[in-house]
Amino acid sequence: MQSNLVGEYRNDYNPNWCPGCGDYGVLRSVGMAFQELGLRNEQIVMVSGIGCNGRFPHNFKTYGIHTLHGRVLPIAQGIHIANPELCVVGIAGDGDAFAIGGGHVPHTARRNPDITYIVLDNGIYGQTKGQPSPTTPLGYKTKVTPEGNQEDPIDITRLALAYGVSFLARGFPGKPNHLAHLIAEGIRHRGFALIHVLNPCPTFHDTWKEYPAKTVEIGPEHDPNDYDAALGLIGRQDKIPIGIIYKQTRPTLAERVRVTSLQKLELKQVLSTFR
Amino acid sequence: MDLTIRFAGESGDGVILAGEVLTYAISRIGLKIFTFRTYPSSVRGGPCLYQLRASDWHAYSQGDQLDILVAFDTEAIASHSKDLKPDGELIFDEDRTPKTYSSLRKRSLGAPFTSIAKNELRLPKARNMVVAGYVGAHIGVSKEILEEVVRNKLGSRGEELLNTNLLAINTGFGLAPKATPIALPKTPSNKIILSGNQAIVLGAIAAGCRFYAGYPITPASDILDSMVSLLPGFGGAILQGEDEIASLGAAIGASYAGIKSMTATSGPGLSLMTEMMGLSSMAEIPVVIVDAQRGGPSTGLPTKTEQSDLNHAVYGGHGDATRIVLAPGNVEDCFHQTIRAFNLAERYQLPVILLTDQSLAQLTEGVPMPDLESIKITEREKAELAEIDGFRRYAVTHDGISPMTLPGEAFGEYVAESVEHDEKGRPSFGPHAHSEMSAKRFRKLTTATKELAEDPLNVMELPDPDADLAVIGWGSTQGAIHEAILRARKNGTHVRWLQCKLLNPLPEAQLSKFLKGAKKVLVPELNYTSQFANLLRARLGIDAISLTKTEGLPFTPDEILRKIEEVA
């Protein structure tokens, strides 16, 4: 399919996603966010995992690294520490981010690197053709669960708040302008921003019809700086709120590990202390 | 002169610190020193030993039999007196061991170390310094030098603690019988005393490493500790990962963004890092991985030495993956091979694994002060940036090396690729891309073999074209083998020896030249399955006699000498 990316970030690559895949919408929104922020191509690094999300960086005329399954966050953190001036955007699916790579999320949250982590949650393993993922709904039939999924899904936003991410938002590619705004705000946020994307997979878990009815935009009455309010918001049973759920200002990982005030050392002098 | 002293007691007794004070003092006098330690995997309790060998020639290993055993408790006497020479001396704590017990030995010296520390110094934990002062006086080290060392080691820990320990050293010094001090030379030495792990940290800093990520694991944790105390002073950063996968991942990420990066681990951690090593090979991102080997498999023997990760380092992981494997032979070598590891990682854009083991990681040796001006640093090849459409990051070149760009550089944008790819780093699964790119990646190792063919850091050798017997070792067995070879030659046995430091790709030209005319090849190594002997059999097509040991301890020179004389 043709890439629907616009502007100076687009290159001549075309994605191999299924027609109607939510990834096209997210791709467009990411490009719009870059545009809104006026980022230069060379200052962007897109870090992807393995799954349908893996081919995200190839669409952009930016730096990128297509990594291993589940390992977006450690690699993104290394990049951030090495050069805090870069705009590091991680992309991973629900399986990548919360099954095989789930162990990295809490530790990333507590370090608060200045990276934006877009989790494309389609509730299924799409690239391997339809196995249940950590967010597949209970009872949903897949090839591995012919009687319906027997395991309860995890709630990504609850986990994110429990882990202490400093920015949490949720969006839907059916509302590309809204999603682009959330991604731009995530990038603008200095710290670990997790963007939970309700992402339809038309081939194995089609939620295109379901989400417009179920989701509701978070209104101005919500104060994203209020942790308890954020918890209350994601606990809503009637609707799935989309928008900025939570944000908090804390020192970033690079600010924590790159201590410039320390006394400068000379190797020769250090060696002589070993006498 | 050649003096071997063993300090033995319980973990938590300060056995190692007592040994270290003596080591630094003896090195300052001008003797060559070599130390070795073992300890249990628990923080307190369990037997612990520190062995120090001092000589006025070059002692290459921890030695065989003991001249002096310093026993902190009765159990230490029971376990270690068998290792004393027939005329060796026992120094024991009269408060812990009844005199009747120790009088079984002809030459034994006792003092009430525990009660002195408790009653006179009011600091029971300073017993180890009383012992150190006593032993120092007994072998003829001056009080001033002992005090200087204690000040240097404990000076930063507060006035009160320092003064108590100085008093303890002096009290112990005064207790020792002055009758027969052992003659020591008095030519001051300017050597620095480093453990293998410390030498690696300093080598890494000298090479330009400015990011370190690691997960705690014995016996590599000291590298994390030393990095934390030094790297920030050089403008570098440290990350303690949530596991070894994250640690190597962060190192790869930082290197991709242009900072020379390293991680260090031991066997179980190396197993976890294996997939990430493949990413470094495939995406061609330089990184240095230190593996301080310990007994395996599984959790194995966390505090004991072994050379059983060679197969994993050379072959581990799925797919055909490029990597360079180095194995330093002693502490000084740890410094230089670490610098080399960074240079090779940058030059060939791949993972370089530095294999040490528990004994080398934690033993200390006197090392000549490195000449920092003579160190040569290699940087990755940078691409010329031009306004072209699509930078060819993985350009197929004659030597396999494709110039790199760094994020932040305009017109150098590319995607570093974990899946097979074309020259621009775009996924490509056709038969042509995989065969062409595999060949390109492995061409770097062919280039490395050529460029490193004559490199003196590949091997250390004592050739002898007339000797039928050739010994080939690798890594930390260097000292014990060296000493065994010298002794064998003294006994009239013809034997040649090569210690291999470059394990992948093997320095085949140097090995063939060394082996020319040899009729038998003996390969000593600390593992069960003869991993290096098998590598030599496979790569060089030679037959090898294997000498293995799986006791969790290094070879002694005697063990190797006996085998040499058996097969010569």
Asked if A77 lies within 8 A of B253 by C-beta distance, the reply is yes
Q: By mean pLDDT, which of A182-186, B152-156, B504-508 is the weakest?
A: B152-156
Which residues of chain B neighbour A259 with C-beta distances below 8 Å?
Answer: 232
Residues B101 and B158 in one domain: yes
Rounded to an integer, the average pLDDT of B493-506 is 98
Asked if B254 lies within 8 A of A264 by C-beta distance, the reply is no
The reported pLDDT for the residue numbered B185 is: 64
Asked if B419 lies within 8 A of A40 by C-beta distance, the reply is no
Chain A stretch 39-98, residues whose beta carbon is closer than 8 A to a beta carbon of chain B: 40-43, 45-47, 50, 54-55, 57-58, 61-68, 71, 73-83, 85-86
Compute how many other C-beta atoms are within 10 angstroms of the C-beta atom of residue B419: 15
- Note the pLDDT tens digit of each residue in B523-553: 999 999 999 999 999 999 999 999 999 999 9
Residue B279: CATH number of its domain: 3.40.50.970
- Note the pLDDT tens digit of each residue in B349-374: 999 999 999 999 999 998 999 999 99
Q: Is A269 on the interface with B (CB under 8 A)?
A: no
Q: Is the dihedral of CA B101, B104, B105, B110 positive or negative?
A: positive
Q: Are A64 and A83 in contact (CB under 8 A)?
A: no
CATH number of the domain at A7-272, out of 3.40.50.970, 3.90.1150.10, 3.50.50.60, 3.30.43.10? Answer: 3.40.50.970
Rounded to an integer, the average pLDDT of B14-19 is 92
- Give SS3 for A94: helix
> pLDDT class for B180, splitting at 50, 70, 90?
low
- Note the pLDDT tens digit of each residue in B83-93: 999 889 999 99
Residue B114: CATH number of its domain: 3.40.920.10
DSSP class per residue in B17-63: HHHHHHHHHHHHHT-EEEEEEE--SSSSSSEEEEEEEEESS---SS-
Residue B103: partners with Cβ closer than 8 Å, 6 or more residues away? none
Asked if B408 lies within 8 A of A270 by C-beta distance, the reply is no
More confident position, A255 or B298 = B298
Percentage of residues of chain A with pLDDT beyond 90:
88
Residues B19 and B168 in one domain: yes
Residues B439 and B463 in one domain: no
Asked if A67 lies within 8 A of B275 by C-beta distance, the reply is no
Q: Is A261 on the interface with B (CB under 8 A)?
A: no
- Tokens 């690696």 found at: B200
Residue B24 domain-assigned (yes or no): yes
Residues B292 and B354 in one domain: yes
The reported pLDDT for the residue numbered A28 is: 95
Q: By mean pLDDT, which of A5-14, B262-271, B282-291, B418-427 is the weakest?
A: A5-14
Distance from CA of B84 to the nearest CA of A (A): 30
Nearest to B192 by CA among A144, A268, A171: A268
Rounded to an integer, the average pLDDT of B70-83 is 91
Is B418 a residue whose pLDDT tops 80? yes
> pLDDT class for B102, splitting at 50, 70, 90?
low
Residue B186 domain-assigned (yes or no): no
Asked if B192 lies within 8 A of A275 by C-beta distance, the reply is yes
- Tokens 């200045």 found at: A114
- Note the pLDDT tens digit of each residue in B186-231: 666 778 999 999 999 999 999 999 999 999 999 999 999 999 999 9
Residues B10 and B104 in one domain: yes
In angstroms, the CA B57 to CA B482 distance is 13
Residues B445 and B470 in one domain: no
Residue B182 domain-assigned (yes or no): no
The reported pLDDT for the residue numbered B182 is: 62
**Which of A13, A81, A264, A268 is the best residue to mutate to test the B interface, defined by the most B CB atoms within 10 Å of its own CB?**
A81
Distance from CA of B537 to the nearest CA of A (A): 35
Average pLDDT, chain B: 93
The reported pLDDT for the residue numbered B101 is: 67
The reported pLDDT for the residue numbered B184 is: 64
One-letter amino acid for residue B192 of the chain: I
The reported pLDDT for the residue numbered B97 is: 87
Size of chain B, expressed as the number of residues it contains? 568
Q: Are A197 and A118 in contact (CB under 8 A)?
A: yes
**Which of A3, A17, A46, A68 is the best residue to mutate to test the B interface, defined by the most B CB atoms within 10 Å of its own CB?**
A68
Residues B157 and B66 in one domain: yes
> pLDDT class for A249, splitting at 50, 70, 90?
very high
Residue B100 domain-assigned (yes or no): yes
Nearest to A97 by CA among A67, A118, A76, A127: A118
> pLDDT class for B181, splitting at 50, 70, 90?
low
Residue B50 domain-assigned (yes or no): yes
Residues B288 and B390 in one domain: no
Rounded to an integer, the average pLDDT of B288-314 is 97
Is B12 a residue whose pLDDT tops 90? no
The reported pLDDT for the residue numbered A226 is: 98
- Give SS3 for B301: strand
The reported pLDDT for the residue numbered B52 is: 93
Chain A stretch 13-42, residues whose beta carbon is closer than 8 A to a beta carbon of chain B: 13, 40-42
Among A42, A76, A267, the residue with its CB nearest the CB of B408 is A42
Task: Mark out the alpha helices in B478-524 (DSSP H runs).
Answer: 478-490, 508-515
Distance from CA of B141 to the nearest CA of A (A): 16
Q: Is A163 on the interface with B (CB under 8 A)?
A: no
Residues B295 and B338 in one domain: yes
Rounded to an integer, the average pLDDT of A220-240 is 96
Report the Cα A104 to chain-centroid distance in Å.
Answer: 13
> pLDDT class for B33, splitting at 50, 70, 90?
confident
Residue B181 domain-assigned (yes or no): no
Among B192, B253, B418, the residue with its CB nearest the CB of A78 is B253
The reported pLDDT for the residue numbered B98 is: 80
Residues B413 and B334 in one domain: no
Element (DSSP H or E) covering residue B202: helix B196-207
Residues B294 and B408 in one domain: no
Q: Which of B359, B374, B389 is the last residue of a domain?
A: B374
Number of structural domains chain B divides into? 4
Asked if A262 lies within 8 A of B414 by C-beta distance, the reply is no
Percentage of residues of chain B with pLDDT beyond 70:
96
Q: Domain range for residue B496?
A: 456-567
Radius of gyration of chain B (CA): 26
**Which of A12, A79, A80, A115 is the best residue to mutate to test the B interface, defined by the most B CB atoms within 10 Å of its own CB?**
A79
Nearest to A218 by CA among A189, A184, A181: A181
Q: How far is CA B466 from CA B238, B493, B496, B514, B519, in A?
A: 52, 11, 9, 11, 10
Q: By mean pLDDT, which of B40-54, B320-334, B426-440, B500-514 is the weakest?
A: B40-54
Is A260 a residue whose pLDDT tops 70? no
The reported pLDDT for the residue numbered B310 is: 98
In angstroms, the CA B409 to CA B399 distance is 25
Q: Which of B358, B374, B390 is the last residue of a domain?
A: B374
Q: Are B351 and B281 in contact (CB under 8 A)?
A: yes
The reported pLDDT for the residue numbered B137 is: 92
One-letter amino acid for residue B457 of the chain: L
Q: Is B426 on the interface with A (CB under 8 A)?
A: yes
> pLDDT class for B108, splitting at 50, 70, 90?
confident
- Note the pLDDT tens digit of each residue in A150-205: 999 999 999 999 999 999 999 999 999 999 999 999 999 999 999 999 999 999 99
Distance from CA of A128 to the nearest CA of B (A): 16
Task: Mark out the alpha helices in A38-175 (DSSP H runs).
Answer: 72-82, 94-95, 104-111, 156-163
Is B443 a residue whose pLDDT tops 60? yes
Residues B199 and B92 in one domain: no
DSSP class per residue in A103-137: THHHHHHHH--SEEEEEEE-SSBTTTTSB--TTPP
Distance from CA of A182 to the nearest CA of B (A): 24
Q: Which of B435, B451, B467 is the last residue of a domain?
A: B451
ipTM higher than 0.90? Answer: yes
Size of interface A-B (CB pairs under 8 A): 183
The reported pLDDT for the residue numbered A253 is: 94
Residue B526 domain-assigned (yes or no): yes
Rounded to an integer, the average pLDDT of B411-436 is 96
Q: Is A217 on the interface with B (CB under 8 A)?
A: no
- Note the pLDDT tens digit of each residue in B445-492: 999 999 999 999 999 999 999 999 999 999 999 999 999 999 999 999
